[in-house]
Structure 1
Amino acid sequence: MKITHSVTGLPVNVAVALPDEVKTHTGNVFSRTANRFHSASSLFLTSLKSSPSFRHSLMLCALMLVVVAFPHIANATDLLKTQQQDASDTFGLQSSVMRWIYFAEIIISVVGFIKTRNPLVFVGLIVVLLVTRAFYGMVG
């Protein structure tokens, strides 16, 4: 506890939170910051190096670095290019899948009209015809 004097000059017992001596810092701001960072990160890094997830992440980063450094390793050929005709035959504009979708939509529209007696059910048929024609045209 430090004794200080009030404005009147009488001593007052007051606890002061400040230290009595001033700390002097050694080195410049950059070296002090680097020392603090190194001491804080060394404990963190030693705990990280022993974890299996860190090893997996390190291996993944190394693999990505290899792919970036040697891009000819990552080249690939289109393996499904020969299957393009089969895909357009199956899912194209003249395909059997499209025919079955149209048949199913017609049956669903007729059943829906019989149950509800609402002619707007057939709007769904038109929407399905237009949407499938557009999307299957993109595929084929």
Structure 2
Amino acid sequence: MNVSAVIRKSSIKLHEFIRWSVPLLVLSWVVVLCLSNTGYAEGQNYLSAMKGDVSATFGKNSDLPGYLYAGETLVAGVTWMKTKSPWVFVGLPLLMIFTHWGLSYVA
């Protein structure tokens, strides 16, 4: 028997073993995960103290919305100069409304 035949035979045996054992291993892991007690989740919100900081950063009295609106207007102007499409000015108010809604949702 030459070396390639031995390698081929052992490769076939390994393939048969993997075909037999992998589904069994996966099934056993599923059973272990289903029967374990790690599914209970209790916790404390450690970030609740940061609500004031988030409101100050993204809220009504912060500078961020003004900077976002100015940036959106600047990008819309540059986009209009490059494309000359009036649809840019249709999208700008929609983007500003979406930004206003998103920031009011965060704050």
**TM-score for the superposition, normalised by structure 2:** 0.59
Q: Kindly provide the amino acid, as one letter, of the partner of residue 102 in structure 1.
A: Y
Runs ≥4 residues deviating over 6 A: none
Which ranges of structure 1 fall in alignment gaps of 5 or more residues?
Answer: 1-46, 68-73
Task: Identify the residue that residue 88 of structure 1 maps to in structure 2.
Answer: 55
Q: Kindly provide the amino acid, as one letter, of the partner of residue 69 in structure 2.
A: Y
Number of residue-to-residue matches in the alignment: 85
Report the structure number with the largest CA radius of gyration: 1
CA RMSD across the alignment: 2.9
- From 14, 28, 44, the equivalent of 1:54 is 28
Residues 95 and 52 of structure 1: CA distance in aligned 2, closer, same or farther (over 3 Å) = same
Matched-pair identity in %: 26
- From 55, 65, 75, the equivalent of 1:98 is 65
Q: How far did 1:53 drift?
A: 7.3
Residues 63 and 122 of structure 1: CA distance in aligned 2, closer, same or farther (over 3 Å) = same
Q: Residue 50 of structure 2 aligns to a residue in which SS?
A: helix
Answer 1 or 2: which has greater strand percent: 1
Answer 1 or 2: which has greater helix percent: 2
Specify which structure has the bigger relative contact order, considering alpha-carbon pairs within 8 angstroms and separated by 6 or more residues: 2
CA contact (8 A) 1:91 1:98 kept: yes
CA distance in 2: counterparts of 1:100 and 1:59, whole angstroms: 49
